[in-house]
Structure formats: structure tokens, C-alpha cells
Amino acid sequence: MTRYMFALLPLLWSATALAQDTAPAPGLRTSALSTVYVRDEAGVETAGKLLRLDSTSVVMLVDGREREFDLGHVWSVQKRGDSLKNGAIIGSVAGLGMGLLGGAIADCSNSSGHIGGCGAGTRIAFAVMSTALYGSVGVGIDALIQGRTTLYQRPMMSSASLAPSRGAAVRFAVRWEP
């Protein structure tokens, strides 16, 4: 067991060595910065305020100090918050279905007081009102659930090779985030 722990120690040291601390720029308003989460190769997630994200590194403010991560050793960078668009779409689709169903089975009274089928206008009103109501509920539920938006995701490594020879050989390698 201790043999495995000693084997993992270099990984943990390398993860801390990749991040470099410096002093933050004077006059920096941290309240205006987005909170981001950086997950490194060791699976360690670090939260802080985003200062810069470019093609080689991500720089963030962690506990009042600038910290730079090399993107070659980062699995993902995510920010807090996501779009409410998906909640609106899901709610609206469900509302449209319920509105169409409600309009199809609705009975309305006509001018003589007899119960009969509703006209096309009433059925359309059922669908429109239900779509709007359910869409609003979908937005509300999505706003309550704090999601994350991915700013950077390390590309998945995959390779495949077919070797032409007397015997066929196929080799695949797939790698993904833990």
C-alpha cells in the first residue's frame, strides 16, 4: 500500500509545481470577476476569480494571490452559472404538449347552454397559454439550479490504427476526464 502512495506523490507535487503564485495587480476589482473552477490532471479542483484565459494558460485569483495554470496540465475550466435557455425550451415543449392535449379533450358550452366541442380559437389559446406558463416554470426551475458553463475542455485523446499485414490488427486508445 505504501508503495502506491509513493508512486502517487510525484503526481501531487507536479500538480502544485505547475501552478505559480504571484501578487495581484493593484486596484483590481475582484467583485467584477467571474468565479471559475479549474480541474487539473490529478483531479484537484481549484476555485477562484478568473483573471485571464489564453491559448497557453489560465490565470486566476485564489485567496488574494494570482495563480497560473498551464493548459497542458488542465482538464477543464468552468464558470459558475449557465443559460436559462434550456429550461425555457424544456418547459415550453412540455407546455405545448399539455396545451394541445387540454385543447383536444376540452368541452365548451355554446350559446344555447349545451356542452360541445371547442372551436379552433379556443384550442389554440389553450396551447399558447400552456406553452407560456410551462416555459416560465421551466425558466424558474432552471434559475434555482446553479449550473456551470465550460470555458475550456481538454481535447480527448484518441488514436486508431489499422496495420496491413498477413494478420489484421486493430489498436484503439481512448482517454477521457475522470
Predicted local distance difference test score (pLDDT) of residue 3:
47
pTM here is 0.49
Contacts of 7 (CB under 8 A, 6+ apart): none
177 band by pLDDT with thresholds 50, 70 and 90: low
CA 116 vs CA 39, 101, 160: distances in Å: 62, 16, 66
66-95 residue pLDDT tens: 889 888 888 888 888 778 898 999 999 999
Predicted local distance difference test score (pLDDT) of residue 167:
58
Domain boundaries, the chain: 13-81+147-174, 85-144
- In angstroms, the CA 67 to CA 62 distance is 7
Domain 13-81+147-174 annotated CATH 2.30.30.100: yes
138-176 residue pLDDT tens: 999 988 888 888 877 888 765 555 555 565 666 666 776
